Each structure stands twice: as C-alpha cells, then as structure tokens.
Amino acid sequence: MERNEEGQERYFIVARRSKKGLSRGSIGRADAETAAGDLIGMVYGGGGSARSSGTVKKQDTCPLTRHQAQLLLFVSPASRRLELLRNVQLFTKICALAQEDLVVVKHKKDFQPCLVKNLIQLGKKDKPGVLQMLGFELDLVDTEHDILSKTAPLPFFSAADIVQVAPSHLNTRQPLRDSGDLDFKRKEVSRINSMPALNSCNAKKQSISNTDVSSSIQALSQYSLEVGSMAEVISLNGLTVYGVIRWIGVPEGKKNCWAGLELDNEATTCSDGTFGTKRYFTCEGNKALYVPLTNCKPDSRFLFITNETPKPFEPPSATLLEDLNEDVPPVAEQDVLSHLVGRMRGIQGHFNSCYLDATLFSLFTSSTAFNRMFNRSADSDEGISHILRWDIVNRLRRSGFVPAESVMKFRKQLGCKSFATEEKDPEEFITLLLKHVLHIEPLLKIRSHGELAQDAYTHQIIVEKNQVRALPSVQQLLEMSFVSSNLKFEEIPSCLIVQMPRFGKKFKMFPKIIPSTELDITDILHCSPKECFLCGHLAEYECFQCLMDHKLQPGKIKQYCSTCNTQVHIHPSRKEHTPHKLTDPDHLPEDAPVERHQMQLFAVLCIDTSHYVSFVKYGPNPRSWIFFNSMADRCGDDKNGYNVPVIRSCPEIGDFFSQSEEEMSKADVRECSELVRRLLCDSYMCLYQRTE
C-alpha cells in the first residue's frame, strides 16, 4: 500500500471532473502511483465502503490526511465537500476541534451555538475496505440564561454543518482524533475517547466571557445589517431579544430607517408583520418587531473574535482552486426539499423579470441538457455567459437562491435595453439567449415534405380546434401539428421546447392541456423505421386523410405497411385518399423491430394574468415535482420593498400524472388541487429532453 514519507496512508479528494468516471468530491485512497503520475487505488461510496477501484490523474486530486478524509466522507452531497475544502481557515479549525470547544451549527433552519462533546465514528470497523466516517456529537448551548449551560443532546453533525468555530485560549486543549486501538462498544456508531476531556465548563468560562462577547459586538458593529441578518435588540424592559431582519426601510410616518424583525419567540406587544396600518412583511402572530435600524446589533450569540492565525493544511494550487469553481451539478433529488423548498428560494423577481426567472429556473434547476452552452461560449470573465454560469446557475444550484441584483446584471447584458425593463415572451428570450448570446446551434431541425430541413429553437404548435379532443395532451397536439403541416424531425433533438396553441396572454385555444410526461416522437421522425398502425410490421406509407377517420381511432397517426395500405384504402370512403411513401432506412426486413424514441418532460412554464411561473421535475421519482414563483410575495412598498421568491413541493402533480390519459381527460379540474389546476389551465411551454 502506498504511504507518504511519514508512513501514513495517502487519501485524496477528486477536485476536477475525471475522465475515468469519478465525480468531483469523491473520496479515495491511493495504493500506488504510476510513472505517468496516475494514482491507483479505491474510491469510497456511501457509508465509507469501497465502491470501486481504478486510476485517477494526480493533478485531478487534492491530497488529504486520513482524519480529513473521514470528516469529509460524512458530508453529502459530494459537492459540499469541495465547498468546505475551499474554506481553508474554517476547515482547519474543524479538523483541530477539541472537547468543549464552542461552535455554531445550522440546525433546523436556525443557527445554534453548541459545545463539542465528542467525535463519532460511523461504519463497521471490522469490514475490510471500509473507511469509517467521522461526525460530531454536540451539546446545545442555552444562550438565554448562561452561554455555557448545556441542554438536550443533538443528532450527529457533519463538518459541513459547522459554520463557525470560536477561538480557544487554553494551552491544554487537545484535538479530537481517530485512534487505531479504540474499544468499540457498537459496530455502527462509536464514540472516540482517545483524548482527555477538558474538565471545564469553568475553564471555558475563563476563555469566553461576557466581556469577550461584548467586544465581539463592538468589533463587528461596523458591518452593515441587511435583510436576512440575525440581529439582537434591547427591549424597553431591558431584555435582549433576538430575531432575523425581514424588512428595512422608512415606515409610514417615520423619517429614519427602521428594521422589521421576526423574533425567535413571541411577545404580546408584537404583530404579524404590520406596523401601524401597513404591512411590510408577514410572519406568525406576535413575532414582528419594528425598531430604528440603529437599535439593532449583530446577534452576539454567533459572534466570536479571534486573533489566532491557524496554520492551514496544504491548500490546493491556484489552478486547482479555479477548477473547484467548475459547474455545480443539479441538486440531488434527495436534497431538493431541504435545499430548495421554502421562502426566499429560487430566483428573486424584480421589475417585469418573471418571464426570465421562470425560464432560467426551468432550464437549469434539474436538467443538464443546456450545460454544454457554457463550454461553447467564449466570452470574457465578465461577459454574459460568465454571469449566467457563476452568478445565476451555479449560485442557484449551490445556495438555492439568486438575488435580483444578479438577474438584473444579466438582463443588462442581453444587448437590448427593453430586456432590462419590459416583459418579454419566453420563446423570444430563449432564441436570443441560445442563438445571439451563447451562439448555440439550433435545437431542432424540421423538414417539410420535399424541402430542406429548417432550423429552430422552439416549436409552436399549430392545430385546428376540431382536430383533437376537448382536453388534448401535448402528445396529440404535437403529432397533429406535424402531420397537418406535413413536417418531420430531421433528427432526434437533445431538447425539445414546445409552445402551446395560445396567442398572447389571454387567448387560449384549449382551456386545459395535459402535459405528456413522455413524448414519443418515433412517428414524426424523418428516415426512421415506423410500425404499421394495423399489423405492427414495418410501415411504408402514411395517410393524412385517415388521421381523423372515426373508424380508425381519430387523431392517431396512420402509417401502414404495403398490404394494410391497400386493404384500408379499398373501402369506398377512403378511395380518394392519397397516402404518400415514407422515407425509411434501406434494407430493413419487413418484421424488423421498431425502436421507439421518447423524450422526457422536465419542466413546464405557465402564465396567468401576465405572470410566468414554472413547474420542474427534479428526479426520477414520479412525485418529484416543485413549483416556482419568483414574485410569490412582497415585503415592503413598491419603492423600498422587494419580492419574495417561493419554491413549493407539489407531489400531487405526480399523483395526477400517475393516472391513465383517459382518466386525466375525464378529471374534474374543479376538484383538483390549486397547482394541478394551474398546470392544466395555464401551461404555456413544455420542455423535454432525451431519455438516453
């Protein structure tokens, strides 16, 4: 086994996307190194067990100690490991934590001060090839009474859950470390007692006193408070209350800047977001407190000042740090509800931007079909592709929120002033974005009979109302649009953006449309094998006049083999039909199986009263649907306020789609949930991607 100069095992994290199939953030152990500079070893999967073995280029990795590897292995998803690794100072402190050290963790959407109790090993020690993960056992600190009083124990935390580490002034502290000769009491979870506990709630009080906390507030008071900041205020009765700033501005009847806080606890003198006769934000009753902004200070429970300069572990090279800024993958299905769902989530709307917010959210939240546009765009670091990539897409996937300022910066780079001020149609924005800004080849190549293929980025469905049933599906509408206009796809598109048959913001040809979750485009592909409608053999002819024949499943595309074509058109009512010969690949046997080509729905844009929203499918589970509205709520007035974007989980969409098409077409929309109604009644554009 390969070891470093000190005889220790060599571990690594994959920092660059590997051609060997290893994803960024994977943790591995190097057993040997080739002359070409490749590391040979194994990569660990969930639970720390060996998942695979192989090689990876050394320059695509960052070296780790065993302790660092064990801490990072407990962090998920893998992309969070790289984010933590890049914060060298914080990660160094986490690696050196000792018992009774004071930290701040994010727990249940709040930030909580805690004392480190112990390191926890997770995984089976005796199993070969297992690298045990390390987590932290913490005790919650009750800050209302005594900053060091312990309350009920908390669940185990990973290193990525720790957002701040208080300084330690004790020379006797020893860092928690994995010990090789521990007496494990349990197979799955073990506490590491390899170092002396600091017998010291009292000793700790000597190092972090009320004076330290007070000086912390003074030192950080220069930092400007903003919406979302955690703050504290001394109330009229002298008690300190804590909360999150939800609004900043000049309220009606006042001259100076005030702040509206949503308090941690209820108070009888507080409101639900109103001040005087006006509402500036909304929260639970008796929790909204309005005070002059100058009365607010940063929350002292989470402020620690340190003069120590920790010695960091060897950081990645500058080039590698740049590579750590590679494209962030979509949020994993299992993390979407905790990472994306909620208020102030998604892309914040501002000044007629809903068409752009909903479109970008649909294109990039869960699908990777458009990631290639970044690699093909060659603008500068300050160009529009760079803004879209780093300030919007990566930020959305990494933190779950994109502020309106980032969106406006992007809008101003679109080449036309009206895009920064006026509402546009999504198809106009998509064409501008792909063609004129990012120089992407057209997504669609569509040919009419006997003509050359035409390029397009989206397809507008054009049908007659009497050609389909009252509640049509996108599958029926697309097929009818192609057949009635004698169109075919020249090739299978990687992404298909379909516009519903509605014109302007008010006129809808159909009051409701069912977005097909899978779109079969086999029968509208040029030069592709197709099945005979009747016998299932290889089709040779297509007849448009048979399309609406009430005896032959009206609305279904009619393609026939030579025999069935002759038999069908013997009927007196069909003698005047003029079926045309299909263009199929040469030398295919008559009974050759026909491969079906399907595309998968990944997003739907909807519009109602000039406002765009979107539904996004974020994973393979049929119920994995979320709803996004960039302007779902408003805090403050038109001049000083801001929009609140909201993402909601909507598994009921998947439940509705689980029905057969016949059941969906018969459903009473009035009895459906609000979001199912919006999806059916307001659909404007459906986005599909290849399933391969």
Cβ-contact 43, 27 below 8 angstroms: yes
Q: Which of 45, 8, 39 is nearest to 27 (CA)?
A: 45
Q: Write out the H or E segment, with its range, that includes residue 258.
A: strand 258-263
Name the CA radius of gyration of the chain, rounded.
31
d(CA 610, CA 506): 8
Q: Which of 616, 175, 45 is nearest to 365 (CA)?
A: 616
| Separation in Å, CA 276 to CA 270, 292, 466 | 11, 15, 57
Cβ-contact 685, 662 below 8 angstroms: no
d(CA 692, CA 682): 29
Cis peptide before 585 (omega within 30 of 0): no
Residue 467 DSSP symbol = G
Q: How many CB atoms lie within 10 A of CB 366?
A: 23
CA torsion, ordered 267, 270, 271, 272, to nearest 10 deg:
-50
Q: Which of 315, 271, 366 is nearest to 89 (CA)?
A: 315
| CA triple 388-392-395, angle to 5 deg | 135
d(CA 417, CA 352): 13
The answer to whether residue 546 is catalytic is no
Output the six-digit token pair for 30: 């190097």
Output the six-digit token pair for 231: 């703050």
d(CA 557, CA 548): 9
Output the six-digit token pair for 581: 């010969």
Q: Which of 493, 572, 553, 483 is nearest to 524 (CA)?
A: 483
Q: Which of 575, 612, 618 is nearest to 600 (CA)?
A: 618
Residue 22 DSSP symbol = P
Cβ-contact 27, 73 below 8 angstroms: yes
Q: Pick the catalytic residue: 95, 114, 283, 354?
A: 354
Q: Which of 433, 352, 361 is nearest to 402 (CA)?
A: 361
| Alpha helix positions (H), 543-659 | 562-568, 651-657
Cβ-contact 92, 196 below 8 angstroms: no
Residue 59 DSSP symbol = G
d(CA 347, CA 135): 33
Q: Pick the catalytic residue: 495, 611, 635, 650?
A: 611
d(CA 386, CA 665): 44
Q: Which of 505, 498, 501, 461 is nearest to 608 (CA)?
A: 505
Q: Which of 102, 139, 133 is nearest to 120 (CA)?
A: 133
| Separation in Å, CA 214 to CA 221, 222, 325 | 11, 14, 37
The answer to whether residue 67 is catalytic is no
Q: Which of 628, 626, 221, 211 is nearest to 402 (CA)?
A: 628
Cβ-contact 477, 524 below 8 angstroms: no
- What residue type is assigned to position 412 of the chain? K
Q: Which residues are catalytic?
A: 354, 611
